[in-house]
């Protein structure tokens, strides 16, 4: 059976596959930081060269931001689009890393072999599971599997500003029967998941300005407006005492969890205490009247992701700063309208602004939530294939993270998405010491071979 030959090939080639991934991880493609512009492009070029080396028609498409990489296998079969992203998160606080984030290595972590480095799990390691499955397939079959188009973007970690225009401009040849997206996690160790609902994401940066320059708090303190104080009041008012978001109209379009889904989630036996204790916490801190899985998967949130103002370095400086700023992200569900929420949020902030203060807003992405149609038979086929690879059967799950691409694929390309990934909760994505289990990489590659064998 040729699937077995492909799986054997993947096993035999594992070390070489890991070496290729390490090369990819060495490129610091931090998309949100303009200082890494050329490195981010270098990651795109590396991917293009890999795909061309596999015999694809591969090319780079320039955009106003970071480039898109596309490639086509050109074979027969069901047209499928595979999506991943080659950009990574910033690495600060750098001092908490146990190694240079861009000098990756295979390490032993309490008996588990892991690939350590920025992007190992999000998303370079994940996208390479698919590329390596294709490589093994070709080496056994002499050609790449089916009729696959690859689409890799370099702005996923910075709001994907070029994605919608690119999809709109290339609608005709990018619309396929189904999209495969590898940017999510296992439900639990040994148990894969297929994501059927994803939260959307709305990012806002708020800059409060008062005096025309930084002031001495001795000369002006008590008399002049303090923008940190104003900002704190605004941020403190974002939630009520029950943890609900106070932005007017915020809950418009938030669906109740269906009884079916609630029953299925209850059956997953999710252990919130264990989940939180892994990161040093003990109690759910969200809406008081919701279960932990609801708080994570099906309820919208408002989170403050960053704040700055005045002197926060070593020592002390009695300054009254001229401005203070915060970055806030809203996770959205159901039919919440990101644009309406943005306007309502901004109006609420303006309303709270005292005299002498001004506000500037900077939007960072506005993607609605997505729900997948699991009546498409590819879902059950993939679930079966995954069950053959992993110790436990695959579950249909929600995901707290936002992968706006699934929404865009639906709205712009009229294409369903199947989200399958092999990350683990302790991968520390977006944090210091990001890692990806070698098992995730290895079984992930084998999983794609099995899935392609079923659906391509």
User: Which range binds a second copy by CB under 8 A, 98-106, 157-165, 372-380, 406-414?
Assistant: 157-165
User: Which range binds a second copy by CB under 8 A, 5-13, 20-28, 307-315, 334-342?
Assistant: 307-315
Interacting residue with a second copy among 95, 98, 108, 212 (CB under 8 A): 212
Interacting residue with a second copy among 14, 37, 268, 307 (CB under 8 A): 307
Q: Is the peptide bond before 123 cis (omega within 30 degrees of 0)?
A: yes
**Residue among 373, 421, 415 nearest 401 (CA):** 421
334 binds a second copy (CB under 8 A): no
164 binds a second copy (CB under 8 A): no
CB 368 within 8 A of CB 332: yes
425 binds a second copy (CB under 8 A): yes
Interacting residue with a second copy among 66, 176, 199, 383 (CB under 8 A): 199
CB of 456 to a second copy, least distance (A): 29
- C-beta of 276 vs 348, nearer to a second copy: 276
The residues pairing with 381 across neighbouring beta strands, listed in sequence order, are none
Rounded CA separation 257/292 (Å): 13
94 binds a second copy (CB under 8 A): no
SS3 361: strand
CA 443 from centre of chain: 21
CB of 388 to a second copy, least distance (A): 27
Non-local (6+) Cβ contacts of 400 within 8 A are 199, 296, 297, 331
Site string for a second copy, 361-400 (x = CB under 8 A): ---xx---------------------------------xx
SS3 152: strand
107 binds a second copy (CB under 8 A): no
CA distances to 54, 253, 290 from 256, rounded to whole Å, are: 47, 10, 11
User: Which range binds a second copy by CB under 8 A, 49-57, 67-75, 252-260, 276-284?
Assistant: 276-284
Interacting residue with a second copy among 49, 318, 347, 373 (CB under 8 A): 318
User: For 328-395, where are the alpha helices, taking DSSP H only?
Assistant: 338-352, 377-389
CB 88 within 8 A of CB 122: yes
CB of 96 to a second copy, least distance (A): 7
Interacting residue with a second copy among 229, 262, 346, 371 (CB under 8 A): 229
Place of tokens 């780079």: 60
Interacting residue with a second copy among 189, 220, 251, 254 (CB under 8 A): 220
Rounded CA separation 114/102 (Å): 15
Strand pairing category for 416-420 and 178-181 = parallel
Q: Which residues, 34 to 73, sit near a second copy by CB under 8 A?
A: 34
CB of 39 to a second copy, least distance (A): 15
- C-beta of 72 vs 433, nearer to a second copy: 433
- C-beta of 387 vs 400, nearer to a second copy: 400
The 3-class secondary structure across 88-136, one letter per residue, is: ECCCCCHHHCCCCCCCCEEEEECCEEEEECCCCCCCHHHHHHHHHHHHH
**Residue among 198, 30, 36, 55 nearest 137 (CA):** 55
283 binds a second copy (CB under 8 A): yes
């Amino acid at each position: 059976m040729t699937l077995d030959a492909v799986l054997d090939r993947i096993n035999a080639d594992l070390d070489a596959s890991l070496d290729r991934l390490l090369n990819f991880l060495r490129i610091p493609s931090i998309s949100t930081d303009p200082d890494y512009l050329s490195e981010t492009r270098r990651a795109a070029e590396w991917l293009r060269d890999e795909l061309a080396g596999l015999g694809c028609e591969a090319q780079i498409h320039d955009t106003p931001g970071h480039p898109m990489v596309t490639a086509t296998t050109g074979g027969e079969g069901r047209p499928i689009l595979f999506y991943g992203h080659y950009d990574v998160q910033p690495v600060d606080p750098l001092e908490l890393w146990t190694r240079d984030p861009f000098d990756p290595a295979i390490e032993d972590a309490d008996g588990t072999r892991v690939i350590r480095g920025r992007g190992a799990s999000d998303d370079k390691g994940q996208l390479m599971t698919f590329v390596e499955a294709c490589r093994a397939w070709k080496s056994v079959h002499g050609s790449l599997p089916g009729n696959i188009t690859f689409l890799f973007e370099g702005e996923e970690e910075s709001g994907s500003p070029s994605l919608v225009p690119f999809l709109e401009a290339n609608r005709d040849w990018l619309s396929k029967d189904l999209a495969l997206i590898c940017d999510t996690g296992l439900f639990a160790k040994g148990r894969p998941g297929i994501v059927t609902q994803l939260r959307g994401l709305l990012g806002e940066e708020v800059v409060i300005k008062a005096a025309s320059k930084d002031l001495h708090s001795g000369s002006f303190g008590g008399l002049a407006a303090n923008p940190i104080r104003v900002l704190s009041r605004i941020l403190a008012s974002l939630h009520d005492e029950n943890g609900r978001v106070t932005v007017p109209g915020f809950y418009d379009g938030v669906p109740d969890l269906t009884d079916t889904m609630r029953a299925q989630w209850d059956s997953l036996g999710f252990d919130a205490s264990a989940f939180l204790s892994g990161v040093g916490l003990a109690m759910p801190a969200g809406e008081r009247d919701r279960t932990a899985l609801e708080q994570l998967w099906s309820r919208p949130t408002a989170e403050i992701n960053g704040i700055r103002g005045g002197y926060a370095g070593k020592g002390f400086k009695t300054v009254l700063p001229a401005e203070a700023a915060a970055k806030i992200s809203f996770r959205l569900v159901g039919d919440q309208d990101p644009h309406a929420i943005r306007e309502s949020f901004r109006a609420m902030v303006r309303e709270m602004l005292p005299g002498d203060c001004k506000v500037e807003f900077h939007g960072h992405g506005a993607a609605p939530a997505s729900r997948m149609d699991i009546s498409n038979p590819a879902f059950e086929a993939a679930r079966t294939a995954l069950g053959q690879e992993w110790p436990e059967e695959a579950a249909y799950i929600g995901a707290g993270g936002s992968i706006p691409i699934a929404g865009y694929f639906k709205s712009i390309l009229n294409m369903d998405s199947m989200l399958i990934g092999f990350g683990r909760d302790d991968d520390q994505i977006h944090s210091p010491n990001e890692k990806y289990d070698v098992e995730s990489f290895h079984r992930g590659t084998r999983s794609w071979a099995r899935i392609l064998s079923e659906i391509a």
